[in-house]
């Protein structure tokens, strides 16, 4: 099939710096192409950047004006209200509330301009079978253009506008809510990354028949337990007898890395062999630097190792160096990409007991759950796994089997094509 894959958010794009955001997009595009589909990517890269991405990933792009860095990194994804375009330059000079309003106006008017870019491409090339977009706040351009040119649109919905409560909130909430209702109700089909999000959309008037729950996944070839972590363990002075508890991600509040500052003393007191390997975090980032300072002030330097930012292709070998993988905190609706990457590497996983993760993980079968935000409970789960190598192996083996059978990008891409085929025949 011929697919127009649109990313109208100017700060998130295939080939750009980012964590789960860009991983999801790039892997889905790659898997769609592996199935023999023609994928054209429309985002806000410059033409020069688009050509470079095309050469590296074999994904054809149609570029609109704007640019930026495109180095792939782990744990460095921009997030609502934190490192979005325009904020850093105006933050020192304006109050927070005004800054948020200006940010939201930027996104709204960006979409006003982006509409003509999408519409022009659809007019120029009228052989697309459907349009696919990952939704974010104030994004209406693609929905409007697809409707104008009478093309089916599949909308990927990863979070509601309420996600912004984790950061600076919304400056134009009524407008954001209107656009969210507008695009989700008018989409031909909506893919949500959890049943929680499906229920949210249904409660806001979206027909349940057109919503498909599709959790995120992993590339089971890139993330597999045959990869060795010995070089990483050696690099960070991790002995063969050490039990390595690993974290991959950023240091923003929704990743929950700060909870490990309280977990670490509890587990280190009971098990002297435990070490924490933190993968992600950009030098100079205030939260990352604050975390490292607290490690020093609390006398935990012997317990923690910091890999910092690593190229995305090297994330698997860092997970391979871990004995236990941890998700310190998660929202009740999201589908953290790290979950499936840990599972793909056959790692024993400790995760918060939130609704969306309970849709994927089974306690004592593919993971150990801990009460959300409860550091004692998390420490207890880590200590249990540290002392039970057999349980670690069982959880890891079961987790790997689950992603092979259910949670991988190839399977998700095939499901998207099936949705598109049903749209084409009017069966949805």
Q: In Å, what is the CA distance from 148 to each residue of 116, 133, 165, 188?
A: 11, 16, 33, 13
163 vs 337: which has the higher pLDDT? 337
Q: What pLDDT score does 47 carry? A: 27
DSSP state of 42: E
pLDDT digits (tens, 9 = 90+) for 398-418: 999 999 999 999 999 999 999
Q: In Å, what is the CA distance from 35 to each residue of 131, 156, 163, 412?
A: 17, 19, 33, 11
pLDDT digits (tens, 9 = 90+) for 369-387: 999 999 999 999 999 999 9
- Within 8 A by CB and 6+ apart from 416, the residues are 28, 32, 132, 154, 191, 214
Nearest CA-CA partner of 136 in 109, 165, 116, 156: 156
What would the mean pLDDT of 31-37 be, rounded to a whole number? 97
Say whether pLDDT at 331 is over 50: yes
β-partners of residue 130 are 3
Q: Which of 6-15, 54-63, 89-98, 369-378 has maximum average pLDDT?
A: 369-378
pLDDT bucket at 43, cuts 50 / 70 / 90: confident
DSSP state of 222: T
Sheet holding 2-6, edge to edge: 60-63, 38-43, 2-6, 130-134, 153-157, 189-192, 211-213
The first and second tokens of residue 27, run together, are: 């892997």
Task: Find the DSSP H helices in 187-259.
Answer: 195-203, 230-235
Say whether pLDDT at 56 is over 50: no
Sign of CA dihedral 30, 81, 140, 145: negative
In angstroms, the first-to-last Cα distance of the chain is: 18
Q: Which residues of 281-293 are buried (b: 16+ CB within 10 A; e: fewer)?
A: bbeebebbeebbe
Whether 141 contacts 29, CB under 8 Å: no
Q: What pLDDT score does 92 carry? A: 54
State the Cα–Cα distance between residues 402 and 373, nearest whole angstrom: 26
Q: What pLDDT score does 23 carry? A: 87
Say whether pLDDT at 256 is over 70: yes
Percentages (nearest 5) of helix, strand, coil residues in the chain: 50, 15, 35
State the Cα–Cα distance between residues 339 and 326, nearest whole angstrom: 9
Does domain 2-217+409-425 match CATH 3.40.50.2000? yes
Q: In Å, what is the CA distance from 199 to each residue of 16, 355, 397?
A: 32, 12, 32
Q: What pLDDT score does 65 carry? A: 31
What would the mean pLDDT of 88-100 be, rounded to a whole number? 66
Nearest CA-CA partner of 73 in 27, 22, 32, 31: 22
What would the mean pLDDT of 2-26 be, rounded to a whole number? 77
pLDDT digits (tens, 9 = 90+) for 341-358: 999 999 999 999 999 999
Q: What pLDDT score does 88 carry? A: 44
Domain boundaries, the chain: 2-217+409-425, 230-405
Q: What pLDDT score does 69 carry? A: 28
Task: Report how many helices (DSSP H) and strands (DSSP E) the chain contains, helices first.
Answer: 16, 13
Say whether pLDDT at 212 is over 90: yes
State the Cα–Cα distance between residues 252 and 250, nearest whole angstrom: 6
The residue whose two tokens read 């939260």 is 287
State the Cα–Cα distance between residues 233 and 375, nearest whole angstrom: 26
Task: Find the DSSP H helices in 62-95.
Answer: 87-90
The first and second tokens of residue 95, run together, are: 């109050």
Q: In Å, what is the CA distance from 230 to each residue of 55, 235, 244, 266?
A: 32, 9, 12, 27
The residue whose two tokens read 């890139």 is 222
Share of the chain above pLDDT 90, in %: 67
Q: What pLDDT score does 14 carry? A: 58
A 10 A CB-CB count for 311 gives 10
β-partners of residue 245 are 276, 324
pLDDT bucket at 54, cuts 50 / 70 / 90: very low
Nearest CA-CA partner of 72 in 135, 21, 17, 117: 17
What would the mean pLDDT of 212-217 be, rounded to a whole number? 97
Say whether pLDDT at 253 is over 70: yes
Judged on CB neighbours under 10 Å (0-12, 13-18, 19+), 332 is middle
Provide CATH code, domain 230-405: 3.40.50.2000
Say whether pLDDT at 329 is over 70: yes
pLDDT digits (tens, 9 = 90+) for 149-208: 999 999 999 887 666 665 666 678 888 889 999 999 999 999 999 999 999 999 999 999
DSSP state of 311: B
Say whether pLDDT at 107 is over 50: yes
Judged on CB neighbours under 10 Å (0-12, 13-18, 19+), 109 is exposed
The residue whose two tokens read 């391979």 is 320
Q: Quote the Cα angle for 414-418-423, to 5°.
A: 145
What would the mean pLDDT of 93-118 be, rounded to a whole number? 84
Whether 281 contacts 394, CB under 8 Å: no
Q: Do domains 2-217+409-425 and 230-405 have the same CATH topology?
A: yes
């Amino acid at each position: 099939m011929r697919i127009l894959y649109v990313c109208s958010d100017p700060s998130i794009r295939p080939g750009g710096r980012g964590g789960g955001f860009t991983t999801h997009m790039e892997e889905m595009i790659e898997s769609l192409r592996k199935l023999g589909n023609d994928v054209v990517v429309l985002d806000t890269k410059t033409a020069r950047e688009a050509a470079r991405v095309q050469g590296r990933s074999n994904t054809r792009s149609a570029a609109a004006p704007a640019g930026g860095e495109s180095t792939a990194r782990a744990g460095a994804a921009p997030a609502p209200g934190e490192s979005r375009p325009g904020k850093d330059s105006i933050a020192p000079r304006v109050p927070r509330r005004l800054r948020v309003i200006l940010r939201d106006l930027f996104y709204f008017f960006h979409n006003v301009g982006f509409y003509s870019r999408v519409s022009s491409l659809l007019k120029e090339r009228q052989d697309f079978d459907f349009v696919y977009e990952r939704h974010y706040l104030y994004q209406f351009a693609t929905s409007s253009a697809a409707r104008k040119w009478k093309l089916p649109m599949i909308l990927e919905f990863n979070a509601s506008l309420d996600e912004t409560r984790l950061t600076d909130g919304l400056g134009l909430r009524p407008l954001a809510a209107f656009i969210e209702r507008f695009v989700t109700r008018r989409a031909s089909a909506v893919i949500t990354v959890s049943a929680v999000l499906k229920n949210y959309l249904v409660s806001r008037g979206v027909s349940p028949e057109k919503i498909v729950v599709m959790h995120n996944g992993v590339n089971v070839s890139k993330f597999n337990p045959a990869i060795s972590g010995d070089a990483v363990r050696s690099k960070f002075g991790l002995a063969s007898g050490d039990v390595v508890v690993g974290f991959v991600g950023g240091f923003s509040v929704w990743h929950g890395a700060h909870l490990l500052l309280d977990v670490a003393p509890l587990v280190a007191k009971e098990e002297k062999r435990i070490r924490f390997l933190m993968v992600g975090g950009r030098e100079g980032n205030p939260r990352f630097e604050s975390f490292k300072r607290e490690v020093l002030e609390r006398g935990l330097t012997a317990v923690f190792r910091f890999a910092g930012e690593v190229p995305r292709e090297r994330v698997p070998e860092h997970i391979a160096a871990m004995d236990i993988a941890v998700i310190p905190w998660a929202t009740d609706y999201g589908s953290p990409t790290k979950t499936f990457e840990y599972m793909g590497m056959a790692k024993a996983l400790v995760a918060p007991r939130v609704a969306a993760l309970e849709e994927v993980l089974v306690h004592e079968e593919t993971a150990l759950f801990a009460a959300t935000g409860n550091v004692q409970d998390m420490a207890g789960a880590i200590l249990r796994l540290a002392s039970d190598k057999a349980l670690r192996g069982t959880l890891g083996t079961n987790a790997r089997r689950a992603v092979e059978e259910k949670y991988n990008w190839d399977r998700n891409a095939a499901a998207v094509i099936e949705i598109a085929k049903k749209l084409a025949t009017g069966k949805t």
